[in-house]
Amino acid sequence: MKLPTGARQRIQEALRQLVADVDTARLDIKALQGRDGFRLRVGKWRVIYHRDDNAMIILVVDAGSRGDIFK
């Protein structure tokens, strides 16, 4: 599924904020339950990602609507 342009821009901005400050409290981030990784909520969209603090890497695994992302 291709994300709409507006959603894509909001997600890109949220990821920029995440990269600038991984421990930011301004973003809606939760640890995933039952598997490794984190969930970043941007409006009705969800971004699933893993992070490696030692290498300072954030790997985006998937992005999509709430109904689709957790299937």
Is residue 70 included in any domain, yes or no? no
| pLDDT confidence of residue 70 | 64
Tens of pLDDT, residue by residue over 9-25, are 999 999 898 888 766 66
Average pLDDT over residues 24-36: 86
Extract the tokens encoding 8. 């894509």
Instruction: Report the alpha-carbon distance of residue 37 to residue 31 in Å, rounded.
Output: 6
Domain housing 27? 5-65
38 belongs to a structural domain: yes
Q: What is the reported pLDDT for 62?
A: 79
Looking up residue 24, the CATH number of its domain turns out to be 3.30.2310.20
